[in-house]
Amino acid sequence: MSEREKNIVILISGGGSNMGAILRAAVRENWRDRLGARVAAVISNRAEAEGLALARGLGVVTQVLAHQGFESRAAFDAALQAMIDAHQPALVVLAGFMRILTPDFVAHYRGRLVNIHPSLLPAFTGLDTHSRALQAGCRVAGATVHQVTTELDQGQILAQAVVPVLLGDSAEALAARVLTQEHLLYPQAIKALLPTLSAG
């Protein structure tokens, strides 16, 4: 591994479809040679997360740190931080990681911790974004890649994709169309961000 290589660590809790999109883009677009970057590890807080097998199948190191058994959220985050830092990350990517992160953890990775949210932020932060967009009568929905800060879904917007809301849409149908765009948007946003980052 080059000392100047930019390592990416991806955190997941479930199926890891966005993670898979990132991994495939990294291979297809040869991030290692073209950008000096590689996905060094995929870490999950759930041993049964389906995305772990997907990552291993794509040749990526996987690790599990189960959150049960830790005396506090802070204790888990400290252990997770140590596991991540062993990979000297230039970037930490949240891809369906279903944990609320402590302020100390977020501060440690300031400027190199990103997430994707299924709405056009700043609209519809938090949960149930698609049903809320439909209830509000929105004509468009979408997804946002953003820097993670201590304020929920309030970090700097890095990229967005707009998805039309169709007549008769259900939350499930809208979510599926937005997810298709997430799989395109997230790798593109990471690729654009990488040149601005220093190697870990």
In a domain, 127, yes or no: no
Identify whether 166 is part of a domain. no
3 pLDDT band, cuts 50/70/90, is low
Spatial separation of the C-alpha atoms in residues 40 and 1, rounded to whole Å: 10
CA distance 84 to 89: 7
Question: Which residues carry out catalysis?
Answer: 117
**Domain range enclosing 54:** 6-115+144-160+181-196
Domain assignment of residue 1, yes or no: no
pLDDT at 1: 40
Residue 49, token pair as written in the block: 């997360």
Query: Does residue 171 fall inside a structural domain?
Result: no
pLDDT at 2 over 70: no
| Per-residue confidence (pLDDT) for residue 29, from 0 to 100 | 97
Beta strand 157-164 with 140-147 is: antiparallel
Nearest of 132, 114, 127, 112 to residue 18 by alpha carbon: 114
CATH number of the domain encompassing residue 152? 3.40.50.170
Coil, helix or strand for 91? strand
The reply to whether 139 falls in a domain is no
Structural domain tally of the chain? 1
Q: What would the mean pLDDT of 86-90 be, rounded to a whole number?
A: 97
Q: Assess if residue 98 is contained within a domain.
A: yes
**Is residue 29 domain-resident?**
yes
